[in-house]
Copies of this chain bind each other. A is one copy, B any other.
């Protein structure tokens, strides 16, 4: 059996998503073998994140500054607001560098099953940002799941009271997708939203 300290580290690592007891053991052995180049840097990175991490009070993003880098960036178009469920979605959009506006992180999606109600999400903050009048268009970039779409419809209703354009991401065939492998829901959406060839 590993020493108690090692065992505690393995148990804790095994609680991370994507790692089980077996891969946690392998990870610990790797860290032991590469103490200077892996374990020490990991300790330093964790400590620095733990000390500097904060939530942006404007958009709900996780960053080391408040307001976050995205909210503080003057080159970003303040009239375009993209609403996402979580920080991971913000990162995904940001990696693509396709969107030049601002973000708003809801912190989840409405779910009767999980007991997530509108007041549990950052919806008031969103409406407050829209009420300020700078925002011209709100893009609802929620997941194409039942709960994501329910949330999108709820938000669209709330936003109807304001003079903003409300849009959502297009649904359809993913690029590289094959018709034969598409689920019926996607196929239906792609057919419904068919466009004339340019």
Which residue numbers of A lie inside 8 Å of B, CB to CB? Answer: 1-6, 8-9, 12-13, 15-19, 23, 25-32, 35, 38-43, 45-50, 52-53, 62-65, 68-69, 86-88, 91, 94-95
Contacts and interface: CB of A to CB of B under 8 A. Distances in A.
* Closest A-B pairs by Cβ, 7 of them: A18-B23, A9-B45, A16-B27, A3-B64, A3-B63, A8-B45, A17-B26
Contacts of A42: 9, 12-13, 46
Contact of A46 (B4, B16, B43, B95): B43
B12 A91 contact: no
Nearest to A27: B16
A26 B63 contact: no
Contact of A32 (B15, B27, B39, B87): B87
Given A87-B32, A95-B1, A27 B23 contact: no
